Amino acid sequence: MRTLLPVLLAFLVLPSFATEVYRYVDDKGNVVFSDKPAKGAQKITVEPAPATSVVVPPMPVAPAVLDQQPVRPGAGPFVGYQEFLISQPSEGEPLLNTVGDVDVSLNLHPALRADLGHGITVLLDGQPAVEQSARLNITLNNVPRGEHVIEAWVLDNAGQVLMQAAPVRFSLQRPSLLMPGRQQPLSPIPPPLPQPRTTP
């Protein structure tokens, strides 16, 4: 009986034109299937199996990673910033500049991750003066005289604030180029000398 199933399967997988199978019992009592007629064999017609096609799906392709900034060698994963401050000008510092240039220095730790799209935005009196910069030393030009407030933010590439420095207030004096220093006041005009009296 063990040989029955493999033999039957072999006939079932034959091409569609091999449809005649003969079944008989041999002298040992085993049921035999054969494509050759034998004495006392029973003819069996096997319908061909319907043709099937196997569709092999394409190998999956890894999706392309879009908008991924290159990571600097050894930079490692971003863990956040611990310190961010405006070191120049200092709080309440009076500045003197004839053309209104103000140097601004920032301290950031760890270093700015520009490879992740992070940038620094500096505001003067609430208005952006420098946006998404990677520089920690910048110069603000043509700042008007008077008191001002400097703010600095670290933003990601989506515009979210990652860290904010404490604002700094300073005052700027812009003396005139024609009068670079304080002039000494003029001496008062002396009164006229008395005229000698003449006699008629």
> Each residue's pLDDT tens digit in the chain (200 positions)?
455 555 555 555 444 455 677 787 888 878 777 777 777 777 777 776 666 666 777 776 655 544 445 545 546 788 889 999 999 999 999 999 889 999 999 999 999 999 999 999 999 999 999 999 999 999 999 999 999 999 999 999 999 999 999 999 999 998 876 655 554 443 343 444 454 544 44
pTM score > 0.85 for this model?
no
**Residue spans of alpha helices (H) in 36-181:** none
At residue 191, φ and ψ (nearest 5 deg) are -70, 155
- pLDDT reported for residue 49: 65
SS3 191: coil
What is the distance between the alpha carbons of residues 91 and 137, in angstroms, rounded to a whole number? 17
Look-up: residue for tokens 């180029």?
177
pLDDT at 185: 43
What length does the chain have?
200
CB 101 within 8 A of CB 143: yes
Residue type, 134: A
Q: How far apart are CA 163 and CA 166, in angstroms?
A: 10
Separation between Cα atoms, residue 200 and residue 42, nearest integer Å: 181
Q: Is 86:165 a contact under the CB 8 Å cutoff?
A: yes
pLDDT, position 183: 43
Alpha helices in the chain (DSSP H): 4-12
